């Protein structure tokens, strides 16, 4: 049975009929021209329609079969384009997230089905009274509208220029971002001219750079590169260390450089590992003591384990006892605490600590553990702690999404506080959101691939569970930051939350920083002075044996990069992300795999295994909603057709 709600000024939706174009708007993350096509048979303002679209897209789905039964034409809503088109933008894969991303599918059903908890729905529709609805709708419209192509080029010019002039990012001059429109019949880029091309003026590119049809926006070279050259070194726009990796690597929470000392790195990892094992063994021993007489051997073993734990705890906390050659060959910056006294985050310098505080940590900080906070701060910190624990248990990418929300609210508030700007609230929000508005997005629960252990018939239930998980996460964040949620209701709406998480799934790159612990043990093992080596090994070998195969675990995380995220896919790319021991922070490093000419598009592979055959590559890439027609794919298809024709003649 269809339901009735009031939106704004007594908008009564009864016997609601929604055209196919309403749900199609999700494909482009809401297009105003699409909204104009909606026919609700009611004379209502555009923002009321917009709010309803957002809530409908977030809370409901509609079915083709019922649509056809009701007399409406069946519409194909596959996100994949037809054979003569490619999607406007192809995005790079986060190799750490194991789930694939199927083509965006928006199934139409005539009847609405609620996909959120009732308490969440109640909150949504209760808040939809005139002023609150207008505020939220206006913000959502800004946050989910497609990137403005007309201002895109100028934005990236400023980004590159600022990186070079203010931050000395020299490799920024090696690239430019260009949106290219290909001739559909020839696949050749229009307006070709390569007389002049540089980092701040990349208006034309070399003919034949891109095979296939419209690849949309891409990253291009502004000079020639040889194999092995570093094409781009770029710090992340927003990044995080994976929660499961925190015990394995103590790094700066802002730049992801290792901090403390080699002893602390080893001590923390082993202390966490052996303390849990010790607790289990102690419990088993106590159970045995209840039924048997203790012997000296068991008591000695227990004492030895306790002594080992004391040593590891000392190493983890104060870096003692010292290991030979550690400080001499691998000095690490001392740890600096969070500005807010948070025990969760550490930094490599006061500068990084302050930068993080100004960017997002003011909101993300869960306070200190000394009990001297004000009551409201304690409550906020407690709820923020619940949010983080919820993310650990479900999907830690929610923590990165919260960073984005914090960054946007901080920057918007800063712009509003500047009396020289003379900006409206929406203008400040739009400016703060701009870096993320340029990145392709999709709603998270609609693009996540079904796990292999979930049957097709259970897909709807699986996606509803994703929405409930995202809704619970957002609810905790709203409780932790009530003032921000009230000022920026659009940013704290479920559709925008889903779009932020979906943006990460589509665009993020694996963040890796090589461990100095691995390099320390390799250095000891490679000592030329055999006498010195034999004197040191008795002190280091026990720790190496205890670490076992995990001695080389690096810092692992996920990051979004403003420039690198524009790289398109190629099955035989000319670049690949590659870092060595000299790369000590979380920056992305793109290295040339083959000679690159000035004006060439810079491509990477979205696949973890480039050696797959054509059919398997296409199957994997279909998760991104496009069919690859790169030179390698076209060549393999031609060879397959040739073999097929030869067999037919025989």
Co-location of 524 and 594 in the same domain: no
- CA–CA distance, 624 with 558 (Å, rounded to integer): 19
- Domain contains 24: yes
| Residue 212, pLDDT score | 44
- Domain contains 231: yes
Q: How many CB atoms lie within 10 A of CB 37?
A: 13
- Domain contains 362: no
Range of the domain at 596: 149-235+561-606
Co-location of 15 and 119 in the same domain: yes
Long-range contacts of 613-620 (CB under 8 A, 24+ apart): 614/640, 617/571, 620/100
- Domain contains 137: yes
Question: How deeply is 167 buried, as exposed, middle or buried, from its count of CB atoms within 10 A (0-12, 13-18, 19+)?
Answer: exposed
Do the Cβ atoms of 173 and 161 come closer than 8 Å? Answer: no
- Domain contains 344: no
Among 350, 356, 339, CA closest to 403: 356
- Domain contains 460: no
Please count the structural domains in the chain: 3
Co-location of 280 and 225 in the same domain: no
Co-location of 274 and 305 in the same domain: yes
| Residue 620, pLDDT score | 73
Q: Which residue positions in the chain have pLDDT lower than 70?
A: 1-132, 180-215, 276-306, 368-373, 622-625, 640-650
Query: Tokens 């995990």 map to which residue?
Result: 550
Say which CATH number the domain at 190 has.
2.170.270.10
Query: Tokens for 98?
Result: 């194991």
Co-location of 265 and 216 in the same domain: no
- Domain contains 414: no
For the segment 134-153, what is each residue's pLDDT rounded down to a tens digit? 889 999 999 999 888 889 98
Co-location of 86 and 204 in the same domain: no
| Residue 189, pLDDT score | 29
Task: Decide which of 531, 552, 573 is a domain's last residue.
Answer: 552
| Residue 301, pLDDT score | 57
| Residue 184, pLDDT score | 25
Co-location of 547 and 568 in the same domain: no
* CA distances, 5 to each of 12, 48, 136, 157 (Å): 6, 12, 17, 46
Co-location of 50 and 122 in the same domain: yes
Co-location of 565 and 601 in the same domain: yes
Co-location of 158 and 177 in the same domain: yes
Among 85, 103, 97, CA closest to 26: 103
Do the Cβ atoms of 177 and 602 come closer than 8 Å? Answer: no
Co-location of 41 and 108 in the same domain: yes
- Domain contains 628: no
DSSP 247-262: TT--B-TTT--B-S-H
Co-location of 14 and 132 in the same domain: yes
């Amino acid at each position: 049975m269809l339901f009735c709600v009031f939106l704004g000024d007594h908008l009564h939706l009864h016997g609601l009929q929604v055209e196919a174009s309403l749900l199609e708007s999700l494909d482009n993350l809401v297009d105003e021209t699409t909204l104009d096509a909606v026919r609700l048979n009611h004379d209502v303002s555009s923002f009321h329609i917009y709010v309803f679209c957002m809530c409908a897209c977030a809370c409901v789905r509609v079915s083709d079969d019922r649509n056809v039964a009701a007399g409406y034409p069946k519409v194909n809503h596959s996100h994949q384009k037809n054979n003569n088109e490619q999607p406007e933008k192809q995005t790079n894969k986060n190799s750490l997230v194991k789930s694939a991303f199927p083509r965006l599918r928006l199934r139409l059903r005539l009847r609405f089905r609620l996909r959120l908890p009732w308490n969440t729905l109640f909150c949504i529709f209760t808040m939809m009274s005139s002023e609150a609805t207008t505020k939220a709708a206006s913000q959502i419209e800004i946050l989910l509208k497609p990137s403005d192509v007309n201002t895109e080029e100028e934005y990236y010019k400023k980004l590159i220029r600022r990186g070079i002039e203010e931050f000395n990012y020299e490799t920024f001059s090696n690239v430019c971002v260009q949106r290219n429109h290909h001739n559909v019949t020839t696949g050749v880029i229009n307006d070709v001219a390569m007389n002049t091309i540089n980092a701040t003026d990349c208006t034309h590119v070399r003919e034949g750079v891109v095979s296939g049809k419209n690849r949309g926006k891409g990253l291009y070279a502004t000079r020639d590169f040889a194999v092995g050259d570093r094409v781009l070194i770029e710090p992340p726009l927003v990044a995080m260390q994976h929660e499961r990796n925190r015990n394995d690597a103590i790094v700066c929470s802002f730049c992801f450089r290792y901090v403390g000392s080699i002893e602390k790195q080893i001590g923390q990892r082993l202390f966490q590992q052996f303390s849990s094992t010790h607790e289990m063994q102690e419990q088993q021993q106590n159970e045995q003591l209840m039924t048997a007489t203790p012997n000296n051997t068991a008591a000695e073993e227990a004492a030895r384990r306790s002594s080992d734990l004391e040593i590891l705890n000392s190493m983890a906390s104060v870096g003692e006892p010292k290991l030979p050659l550690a400080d001499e060959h691998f000095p690490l910056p001392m740890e600096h605490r969070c500005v807010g006294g948070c025990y969760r985050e550490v930094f490599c310098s006061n500068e990084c600590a302050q930068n993080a505080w100004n960017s997002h940590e003011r909101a993300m900080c869960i306070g200190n553990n000394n009990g001297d906070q004000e009551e409201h701060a304690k409550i906020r910190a407690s709820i923020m702690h619940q949010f983080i624990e919820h993310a650990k248990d479900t999907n830690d990418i929610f923590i990165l999404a919260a960073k984005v929300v914090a960054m946007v609210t901080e920057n918007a508030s800063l712009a509003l506080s500047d009396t020289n700007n003379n900006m409206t609230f929406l203008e400040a929000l739009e400016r703060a959101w701009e870096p993320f508005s340029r990145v392709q997005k999709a709603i998270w629960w609609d693009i996540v691939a079904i796990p292999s252990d979930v049957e097709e018939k259970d897909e709807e239930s699986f996606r509803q569970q994703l929405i409930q998980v995202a809704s619970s996460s957002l609810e905790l964040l709203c409780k932790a930051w009530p003032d921000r949620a009230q000022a920026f209701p659009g940013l704290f709406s479920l559709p925008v939350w889903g779009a932020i998480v979906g943006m990460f799934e589509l665009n993020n790159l694996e963040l890796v920083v090589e461990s100095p612990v691995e390099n320390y043990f390799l250095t000891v093992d490679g000592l030329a002075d055999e006498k010195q080596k034999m004197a040191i090994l008795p002190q280091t070998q026990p720790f190496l044996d205890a670490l076992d195969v995990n001695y080389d675990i690096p810092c692992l995380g996920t990051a979004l990069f403003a420039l690198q995220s524009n790289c398109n896919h190629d099955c035989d790319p000319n670049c690949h992300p590659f870092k060595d021991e000299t790369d000590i922070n979380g920056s992305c490093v793109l290295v040339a795999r083959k000679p690159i000419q000035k004006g060439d598009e810079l491509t990477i592979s979205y696949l973890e295994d480039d050696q797959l055959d054509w059919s398997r590559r296409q199957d994997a890439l279909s998760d991104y909603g496009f069919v690859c027609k790169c030179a390698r794919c076209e060549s393999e298809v031609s060879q397959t057709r040739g073999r097929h024709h030869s067999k037919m003649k025989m």
